Amino acid sequence: MKPIDFLPLKPAVFHILLSLADANRHGYGIMQEVQVRTGGLVKLGPGTLYTAIKRLVMDGLIMESEGTDGCDDERRRYYSITELGREVIALEAKRLEDLVDMARNKNLLSSI
């Protein structure tokens, strides 16, 4: 599949890829990073998170990788974003930016 074929991304997928853009993380680490980054506005439940992770691995957007936090817990699976995943998240960010620009051009954001 081409990167554009994955668009638009579901919000959970967008946040997972964004979380992995700067560091390898395990599932719980992804949940924590998303919650902190969004100020608690987005909370990924385990079912949503791990279903999305499984799909992202199958689609080649993320892959299992080595942990970077020095934790020796063998039960933790770490994930990293692939080059395809980076292309997809960049395209999605551009798509969202274009939508915000459209709203701004209609003066919908001036009061916010």
SS (H, E, C) 49-112: HHHHHHHHHHHCCEEEECCCCCCCCCCCCEEEECHHHHHHHHHHHHHHHHHHHHHHHCCCCCCC
Nearest CA among 48, 73, 13, 74 for reference residue 21 = 13
Q: Provide the 3-class DSSP secondary structure of residue 14.
A: helix
Q: What fold, for 3-105?
A: Arc Repressor Mutant, subunit A (1.10.10)
Find the mean pLDDT for residues 20-36.
97
Q: Is the pTM higher than 0.75?
A: yes
- pLDDT score of 68 more than 80: no
Nearest CA among 32, 33, 7 for reference residue 85 = 7
pLDDT band at 70 (very low <50, low <70, confident <90, very high): low
Q: Where are the domains of the chain?
A: 3-105
| Consecutive H or E run containing 36 | helix 27-37
| Consecutive H or E run containing 26 | strand 25-26
pLDDT per residue as tens digits for the range 41-59? 999 999 999 999 999 999 9
